[in-house]
Amino acid sequence: MEPLELPPAAEDIRKEMIALIPDVRIYDEDEKGNKKYGGDEIAGLVSRMKAALNLDETWEGRLRYWSTSTKLVNTGKQGYLVAISNEMQVYPGGSLKGGYYIQVKNEPVLGAGATTLFFVPR
């Protein structure tokens, strides 16, 4: 899992997401404090990010905040993980800095305090 730098358009969208998150609707929050973000503004940014990463309509993205270490469910064993927060731990692999993304071919474990955008096939 070699981190790739986000293209400039995608980095601009990431920064828009960071600015929007404090005011965005939390779609769901579990007992551990993990949050799912939703709403039209987030959907629009996710769609723009997908285009900026050259992903077609067969991919869907999910914006989440992980308050605790969490194993991502990735049944198809493929996806793209975008670090929205400044830096996060990904196991296996190590640190993933904001402004970077990785191709995922497993079910990685994210360290606590990570905000991510995860694209998987529909």
What pLDDT is attached to residue 1? 64
For 37-52, the pLDDT digits (tens) are 989 999 999 999 999 9
Q: Is 94 exposed, middle or buried (0-12, 13-18, 19+ CB in 10 A)?
A: exposed
- Say what the pTM is: 0.92
φ, ψ dihedrals at 75, nearest 5° = -60, -30
Domain parsing of the chain, residue ranges: 4-121
For 81-98, the pLDDT digits (tens) are 999 988 899 988 789 999
Give me the architecture of the 4-121 domain, per CATH.
Sandwich (2.60)
